[in-house]
Amino acid sequence: MAKVRTEDLIERFQLELISGEDGLHRPIITSDISRPGIEIAGFHIYYPAERLQLLGRSELYFFDTLEDHVKRERARKICNDETPGIIISRGLDVPKELIDASEEKAVPVMRSQMTTTRLVSKLTNFLESRLAPTTAVHGVLVDIYGIGVLITGTSGVGKSETALELVKRGHQLVADDSVEIRQEQENTLVGTAPELIKHLLEIRGLGIINIMTLFGAGAIRNHKKISLVVHLELWNPNKTYDRLGLDEDRMKIIDTELTKLTIPVRPGRNLSVIVEVAAMNFRLKGMGMNAAQEFSDRLSDVIEEGEFEEY
């Protein structure tokens, strides 16, 4: 199913439908927007018909200078069978030739009161968000001090319990169990909760709880950029875990690689505090402060100076 149809734009931006109502079901497959000034001038070798077409003051003023038979020809050219719709900005008058062509080809013609530049910006942002590549990941997404932390791990390892403790410590829940992720821009992943389980958290032995009802609106977020992955796994005595933090694993989601930390789980470890500190340490690294690297450099200096044995 198409993610966006022309009729969605009318509802989202309060556009006025002028003509071409039969084409409102047309899918929009790209966030690119075309301003067909060169096509109105007569150049049709390359016409991106699959894009939304936006006509502003310049295009319409030029169109008005053409002879009537040329207007009809050019209007039919831009009303292509693939064209999802044509939008007129600034509340400008729509040429009769364009209305006739749009009715003939069932291409919706819509009008907005916004300026052309503002309309292009809003349409592009909306379409890029709705048409972005998406996936779903089993895990919990929490906003910790402004860092979107995706907590993953096998079922029953303690992800939801950790999230509950983090919420009690003042952080915000985005999604539990299933996280819908979309790549809005290059290297930018945004996570949300499926509508069915929004604001809900499942705790084994307790059942489903509503975080917003229990802790208030300040305990939840509808969406968050994902910056860090924390993977919880049961402690494996035969596995060597990183003790310094110099080695950095990566996890690829869609086309973006994220820093991944693996936290071993066993009785006595306070996972919520560990995850909270992991988020703060990640934030410090982004500011250029790396405690592990500073320790390694300090140790190297001591070894080079021949003072290591004194310690």
User: Where along the chain do its domains lie?
Assistant: 6-130, 134-297
Ligand-binding annotation for 158, yes or no, is yes
Distance CA 70, CA 87 (A): 21
Q: Measured in whole angstroms, how far is the alpha carbon of residue 259 from the centre of its chain?
A: 18
Residues recorded for the chain: 311
Q: Residue 255 pLDDT > 70, yes or no?
A: yes
Tell me the helices (H) and strands (E) count for the chain, helix number first.
10, 17
The mean of the pLDDT values for the chain is 91
Which residues form the catalytic set? 138, 159, 177, 243
The pLDDT of 16-24, averaged and rounded, is 95
Average pLDDT of the segment spanning 14-34: 94
Burial of 195 (0-12, 13-18, 19+ CB in 10 A): exposed
> Is the CB of residue 82 less than 8 Å from the CB of residue 6?
no
Is 272 annotated in some ligand binding site? no
* 122/86 Cα distance (integer angstroms): 15
Residue 157 annotated as lining a ligand binding site? yes
Per-residue pLDDT at 243 exceeds 80: no
Q: How confident is the model at residue 187 (pLDDT cuts 50, 70, 90)?
A: confident
**202 has binding-site annotation:** yes
**Band of residue 269 on the pLDDT scale cut at 50, 70, 90:** confident
According to CATH, the superfamily of the domain at 6-130 is HprK N-terminal domain-like (3.40.1390.20)
Give residue 307's pLDDT. Answer: 55
Q: What is the pTM of this model?
A: 0.74
- pLDDT number for residue 88: 97
Say how far apart CA 44 and CA 38 lie, in whole Å: 8
Q: Is there a binding annotation on residue 218?
A: no
Maximum CA extent, the chain: 95
- 159 annotated binding-site participant: yes
pLDDT at 309: 53
Encoding tokens for residue 203? 């705790």
Residues whose CB falls within 8 Å of the CB of residue 297, separated by 6 or more in sequence, listed in order: none
Q: Where are the alpha helices (DSSP H) in the chain?
A: 6-13, 37-40, 57-64, 68-78, 96-105, 116-130, 159-168, 211-215, 271-286, 291-304
Q: What is the dihedral of CA 29, 32, 33, 35, to 10 degrees?
A: -120
The structure tokens 């942002």 sit at 125
Does 134-297 carry CATH code 3.30.420.40?
no
Position 94 pLDDT exceeds 90: yes
pLDDT value at 306 more than 80: no
Strand order in the sheet with 178-185: 134-138, 178-185, 188-192, 223-225
Task: Of 192, 190, 195, give the one whose Cα is nearest residue 179.
Answer: 192
User: For residue 94, what are its two tokens?
Assistant: 């729509």
State the pLDDT at residue 3.
80
Spatial distance between the Cα atoms of 224 and 222, rounded to a whole number of angstroms: 7
Q: Give the mean pLDDT of 109-137.
A: 93
96 is in an annotated binding site: no
Among the listed ranges 48-57, 139-148, 168-177, 298-307, which one has the minimum average pLDDT value?
298-307
Q: What is the arithmetic mean of pLDDT over 43-47? A: 88
